[in-house]
Amino acid sequence: MARQDRPKDSAADIGTRVYWLALLVGLTVGAIATVFHVLLDGAATLRGLLVGGGLDGLSALQWTARWATAVTVSLPAAWASWIEPEIVARAGLMLLVVTGCLATARWLVRRFAPEAGGSGIQEIEAVLLGQRAMRWRRILAVKFLGGILALGAGFVLGREGPTVQMGGAAAVGIAHRARCTPGEVNALLAAGAGAGIAAAFNAPIAGALFVAEELRREAPYNFQGYHAVLLACVAATMVTQAMAGVGPELRLDMAPPELVHYPWYALLGVLLGAAGVLLNRMLLHALDLFAAWSRRAGWSLVLFLATSLTLLLFRQPLATGGGEQIIPPMLAQHAGEADLLALFALRWLATVASYSAGAPGGVFAPILGLATVAGLAYGELLSPWLSQPGLQPAALAAAAMAALFTGSVRAPLVGVVLVAELTDGYPALLAITLSSAMASLTAARLGGRPLYELLLERSLSRS
């Protein structure tokens, strides 16, 4: 089902009180998103401690290690030399934790709010189109708890999808309490969604642009609605900064690229624009494949995904997690192109599999992490052919983020501004914009469509 244009008078019943309500929405969404972020950071810390041996003093781990040691004694010497009891104990406990988290998150979604699975941005669009009711209480509970479980376990999912849908749900709850008109409800719903982006990335302008560019056909886009979105995004960011600190979420040190290097940034945009189209197609196919698998034997799907993630957590932890946490270490370690390409392939597959698992979680942050690896690999592959100084890794990473985001989501201005606000990448803004523009043109030339438009059609066709 294609997107529908809203009637021109759909926002005629929006009064000026929507401004005060939008401020309340922004403050509420900022608090929810920041608590969500803090809890996920805590889960990531615990996950790292378990994998790294920081929790080996736990009685359960000690008992499992003793059991593994006893089993090892009975094995042939050639096999026993490969087994480390402490690692076996940690991996076993991690597998139980990851399996339990994913199974519980999927159960919450399937039992209470199927529309809470995945990103949720397309569900906001469906509500604005009048194609779906917003069960805001269920959405808030399932998205928050399910998101903590799935993202906390280490799946390659982003927190921006949950914060957008939770932001919309909180906004609808406030609108119902205030007995708002239908136009005001929709205006606040759009404001809550924009505030979710703003709070997730500490990026108020990107949050407002997200509504203007991604929800432009669904949201009431008149004077009152536009300013309601602005106020909500600013208020949400203020709460985030008050609770979590002021400044860019992921500051990268970069200088303006050399003008002679701009053709390489254009080529990067072309390549990642095509990659964005491919990523969208793989996501759609994987969603159908995993949905069929889940209907036949959901337990085996959960066990497969949990086992795969556990292996990655111990063997290649940079291939796990939302994505933004891998960017600083990737820029610091100066990996070679072979390692970067291998990591890119792993994160690509992990992103597709994690999003298709049916648990709450977004795809923005995974795209940013995936793009960073791609940009660094691109720079390493080109370095033998460039005179010194070569391409800046930080600027390449920022341009790649905007390009892959644009190739998939098809919102170039959001991509540019989001990356600039997220990384403080204003010195490289021209190169970032060039890569994003070329990615958008390439995706359009290849017949690619916006990811959330595709997800919306899929969601409505199954309702």
Average pLDDT for the chain: 88
Are 438 and 402 in contact, with CB atoms under 8 Å apart? no
**375/93 Cα distance (integer angstroms):** 35
205: tokens are 């302008």
Q: What is residue 405's three-state secondary structure?
A: helix
- pLDDT number for residue 11: 54
Task: Let me know if domain 259-461 sits in CATH 3.40.50.1950.
Answer: no
Using one digit for the tens of pLDDT, what is the confidence trace for 168-215? 999 999 999 999 988 899 999 999 999 999 999 999 999 999 888 877
- What b-and-e string marks burial along 82-113, b requiring 16 or more CB atoms within 10 Å of the CB? eeebeebbbbbbbbebbbebbbbbbbbbeebb
Kindly state the average pLDDT of the residues 106-134.
Answer: 90
In degrees and rounded to multiples of 5, residue 158 shows phi and psi of: -105, 155
Q: What is the pLDDT of residue 91?
A: 84
Please compute the mean of the pLDDT values over residues 40-55 and round it to a whole number: 88
As a whole number of angstroms, the distance between CA 140 and CA 136 comes to 6
Q: Give 61-98 pLDDT, tens digit per residue.
A: 776 767 666 656 555 555 555 566 677 778 888 999 99
**Residue of 197, 198, 237, 225 lying closest to 128 (CA atoms):** 225
- Give the start-to-end residue ranges of the domains of the chain: 18-56+90-244, 259-461
Q: Rounded distance, CA 15 to CA 89, Å?
A: 61
Rounded Cα–Cα distance for residues 144 and 140 (Å): 6
Q: Which two tokens stand for residue 271?
A: 């390549």
Q: How far apart, in Å, are the Cα atoms of 50 and each of 60, 100, 241, 304? A: 12, 16, 30, 21
CA–CA separation, 12 and 222 (whole Å): 9
pLDDT for 59 equals 73
DSSP-derived secondary structure letter, 45: H
pLDDT, position 5: 47
User: Which one, of 300, 268, 232, 203, lies nearest residue 401 by Cα?
Assistant: 268
Does domain 18-56+90-244 fall into CATH 1.20.120.1200? Answer: no
pLDDT score, position 218: 62
Share of the chain above pLDDT 70, in %: 89
Q: What is the pLDDT of residue 249?
A: 76
Q: Is 18-56+90-244's fold the same as 259-461's?
A: yes
